[in-house]
Amino acid sequence: MAELKISEMRDLTRIERIGAHSHIRGLGLDSALEARAVSEGMVGQTSARKAAGVIVKMVQQGKIAGRAVLLAGQPGSGKTAIAMGMAKSLGQETPFAMLAGSELFSLEMSKTEALMQAFRKAIGVRIKEETEVIEGEVVEIQIDRPAVAGAASKTGKLTLKTTEMETVYDLGAKMIEALGKEKVQSGDVIAIDKTSGKITKLGRSFSRSRDYDAMGPQTKFVQCPDGELQKRKEIVHCVTLHEIDVINSRTQGFLALFTGDTGEIRAEVREQIDTKVAEWREEGKAEIVPGVLFIDEVHMLDIECFSFLNRALENDMAPILVVATNRGITTIRGTNYKSPHGIPIDFLDRLLIISTQPYTEEDIRKILDIRCQEEDVEMSEDAKVLLTKIGVDTSLRYAIHLITAAALACQKRNGKIVEMEDISRVYELFYDVKRSTQYLMEFQSQYMFNEVPAGEGDEDEANAMVS
């Protein structure tokens, strides 16, 4: 079975930019799961947040499989934000997979395969492995200069010690390279995995805390290890079922994890993996960590996807499914039937529904405050009041977008603090939905394909199309 070395790879994807939801750091609940008014970037929407918190608790206890939750509410009422908050408060160990309903239709694989992969991305396996490690403080690294420059076989010696013993190890070219890469020097405390040869720097020994010049700003000091140099250590890897699938599907191989180009994975591969994982579970080597699969814009799924979901949720390895939509009663994709949220009744019946409410003026003000901080924009009190008013009249999203634009306008006139004039300038510059619709109504005859007879393209429809 595959060697599993995925844990390091995760970190690469965690570089964050300022995105629409980057200010959300959790659900902002206290230990009794009550929502704090403003906390972890979250404002208001208390009952929905509280409900989301209950779901997170359910996931963390890991006992319940196959529950599904629907976040329903108007556009811009924080559904996606709450899902992000859930992801954050689940922690790194619990898998959280996310996709938008429409993504299923643009991949080079069948919808159900894409859904299956998404399901398996949301199920983690915690695998325990016992390995032998050598752990000690580096006393000396001595590398023999090869006689001919550039000769392939470098050799050397590494002296390691614990508080009780000291041993000299012979080094091959590979180890020398690894030591160089990690910039290991004498005085560092390191661990070497005996099977893989991987070197981990644990920190600098306290005994060297006086060598100031060797320290970076974040030098971590650790005790020199005691006891034997060789130890047995239990290492825990967390991977998702999907990652195991990809590594083991021979046609794709593990590079597919980087390109995302995984193609379809054969059912037999999955079956084998499920059996293997079940074996590991029985031997106590592995634990299943059911996570969360979040499908945004769930009204984009069609009737086949819903039927797949119905069935997939009944599997005992199913994750908790969270779906979100802003649609009211609308046609179920792939049929001529209408249904609440565009979701078939039988699937709707399996969902716990959390509804989000429109924001009050006060909430909007607080969210805008948080966004200003997040985007590092200083704004005068008047400007904030005006922006809040715009947010109430148009939409929260529009107001949020104006922050960056206004900051640029302010920069342009060499200002430091965003004033009312900047806000009104960008308000003139960029239209919100209402004004844009109005404009179109007035001038539609000058656009191409203006087939909509006057009066039909009413505001609601325009809203639905934009959101």
Could you list the residues that contact ligand ATP (CB under 6 A)? Answer: 20-21, 24, 41-45, 73, 75-81, 326, 367, 396-397, 400, 467
Could you tell me which stretch among 54-62, 72-80, 242-250, 363-371 binds Mg ion (CB under 5 A)? Answer: 72-80
What is the spatial distance between Cα 266 and Cα 315, in angstroms, rounded to a whole number? 18
Q: How far is CA 443 from CA 394, 447, 448, 458, in A?
A: 21, 7, 11, 15
Cβ distance to ligand ATP smaller for residue 40 or 304: 40
| Residue 395 burial class via C-beta count within 10 angstroms: exposed 0-12, middle 13-18, buried 19 and up | buried
Q: Is residue 77 a contact point for Mg ion (CB under 5 A)?
A: no
Q: Least Å distance between CB 323 and ligand ATP?
A: 12
Task: Give which of Mg ion, ligand ATP, none residue 367 binds (C-beta under 5 to 8 Å, depending on kind).
Answer: ligand ATP
Looking up tokens 């490690």, which residue turns up? 133
Residue 88 vs 208, nearer CB to ligand ATP: 88
Least distance from C-beta 424 to ligand ATP, angstroms? 22
Nearest distance, CB of residue 86 and Mg ion, angstroms: 13
In whole angstroms, the minimum distance from the beta carbon of 313 to ligand ATP comes to: 23
For ligand ATP, give the closer residue by CB, 41 or 53: 41
For residues 57 and 94, the answer to whether their CB atoms sit within 8 Å is no
CB of 73 to ligand ATP, least distance (A): 6
Which of residues 189 and 292 has its CB atom nearest to Mg ion in the complex? 292
Token look-up 């752990």 returns 135
Query: What gap in Å lies between CA 56 and CA 58, rounded to an integer?
Result: 5
Complex with Mg ion: residue 98 or 312, whichever CB lies closer: 98
Q: Give the separation between CA 283 and CA 147, rounded to whole angstroms.
A: 52
Span from 30-38, 80-88, 193-201, 249-257 in contact with Mg ion (CB under 5 A): 80-88
Q: How far is the CB of 464 from ligand ATP (least distance, A)?
A: 10
What's at 318, amino acid-wise? A
Which residue, 152, 160, 205, is CA-closest to 179? 160
> Rounded to whole angstroms, how far apart are CA atoms 412 and 435?
25
Q: Is 205 in the site for Mg ion (CB under 5 A)?
A: no
Least gap, CB of 463 to Mg ion (angstroms):
14
Half-sphere exposure in the Cβ direction for 459 (13 Å, CA):
8
Residue number with the smallest Cβ distance to Mg ion: 80
User: What, of Mg ion, ligand ATP, none, does residue 36 touch, CB below 5 to 8 Å by kind?
Assistant: none
SS3 of residue 355 by DSSP: strand
Q: Which does residue 43 touch among ligand ATP, Mg ion, none (CB within 5 to 8 A, set by kind)?
A: ligand ATP
Look-up of token digits 């790879």: 9
Which helix (H) or strand (E) segment holds residue 287: the answer is: strand 286-290
Q: How many residues does the chain have?
A: 467
Q: Which of 77, 80, 89, 325 binds Mg ion (CB under 5 A)?
A: 80
Q: Which residues bind Mg ion (CB under 5 A)?
A: 80
